[in-house]
Amino acid sequence: MPNTIKAIIGSAILAVFLSVAFDIPEARAAGKPMNLTAYCNAKHNPSGRGLSWRAKYYQGAAQWWCEQATETGPVSRGGGRKRIDPAQACLLMHDTLKIHTHRGLDYAVESNMHCGVHSGLMPSEADMQPASLTLCNNTSAPKLSVGYAYWDRRGRYTPNWRSKGHWILARGECETFALPTSYDHYGYRGELYVFGGHRGALIPGRGKQICVWGFGNYEQPLADDSSACTKNGYRMMPTTRVEAFAGEVRHAFSD
């Protein structure tokens, strides 16, 4: 047997021995690679006869989308763009809602994402750290009604935007809210939309129009759906986009 082949076989045997004897984390990593482009086609073009789909990550929104492709580029209107919930992609492709990454909580790199139980490399402590949102009333109004909307992966209508409110903040007052964790207990990351208003005026914003209720505490699923909103007697409200990350995220409303 040539020496080169002997060396390769010997290295393979040694690697297996070391992984068992010393329990190398990489050797215990489990899960199936996530292929979001395959998911997009399986979800939106199961027959294979329509336009193909591709997956694309948008850094600003910190989200993956399915885009229907044409010869001149992606279709952005008429239903040609659909948001991806990676947990739902794993459910369809591999029958699991579990997601893990092999290089920390980096969902922007598809090759790092896997479906299934993470039994190998552990995420960093920063990945597991919960996120919180602090809202402050820095306006001239003596009282300000505030709330926020987050991307909900747990509710009955998942995935969807869910709004929560409203809380009354006196002038100069702040309040902190714990943000929900994901399926795999990672802290909430990505987009949030905050809104506020006082008697006779709304705080302007360039974010999504989000469904709110003006009386008492509430939680509203499908919060970016105007038809569902008005059906319940609520109203759509302008918001401001903020980005959630590990630890505390603060937003101060001002005049």
Task: Output the domain CATH number for residue 178.
Answer: 2.60.40
Is 22 among the domain residues?
A: no
Is 9 among the domain residues?
A: no
174 & 196 share domain: yes
Phi, psi of 55 (to 5 degrees): -100, 140
The parent domain of residue 213 ranges over 127-253
Give the DSSP letter of residue 88.
Answer: H
Q: Within 13 Å and on the Cβ side, how many CA atoms surround 43?
A: 26
226 & 177 share domain: yes
Model confidence band, residue 49 (pLDDT cutoffs 50, 70, 90): confident
In the chain, pLDDT over 90 holds for what percent of residues? 17
Q: Quick check: 239 pLDDT over 50? A: yes
Q: Quick check: 58 pLDDT over 70? A: yes
Is 204 among the domain residues?
A: yes
Mean pLDDT of 205-225: 85
Q: Quick check: 122 pLDDT over 60? A: no
For residues 148 and 165, the answer to whether their CB atoms sit within 8 Å is yes
> For residue 250, which of 135, 129, 171 has the smallest C-alpha distance?
135
Is 10 among the domain residues?
A: no
- Top pLDDT among 78 and 194 is at 194
Instruction: Give the pLDDT score at 195.
Output: 92
114 & 139 share domain: no
Model confidence band, residue 163 (pLDDT cutoffs 50, 70, 90): very high
Q: How far is CA 210 from CA 102, 145, 198, in A?
A: 35, 14, 17
Model confidence band, residue 180 (pLDDT cutoffs 50, 70, 90): confident
Mean pLDDT value across the chain: 75
Between 86-94 and 36-44, two packed helices, what is the crossing angle to 10 degrees? Answer: 80
In the chain, pLDDT over 70 holds for what percent of residues? 71
Is 75 among the domain residues?
A: yes
Mean pLDDT of 188-206: 83
Which of 97, 122, 147 finishes a domain?
A: 122
State if pTM tops 0.75. Answer: no
Residue 226 amino acid letter: S
Is 67 among the domain residues?
A: yes
103 & 116 share domain: yes
Model confidence band, residue 176 (pLDDT cutoffs 50, 70, 90): very high
Mean pLDDT of 177-206: 79
36 & 115 share domain: yes
96 & 139 share domain: no
175 & 160 share domain: yes
- Top pLDDT among 180 and 176 is at 176
Is 194 among the domain residues?
A: yes
Is 14 among the domain residues?
A: no
The total number of structural domains in the chain stands at 2
93 & 143 share domain: no
94 & 133 share domain: no
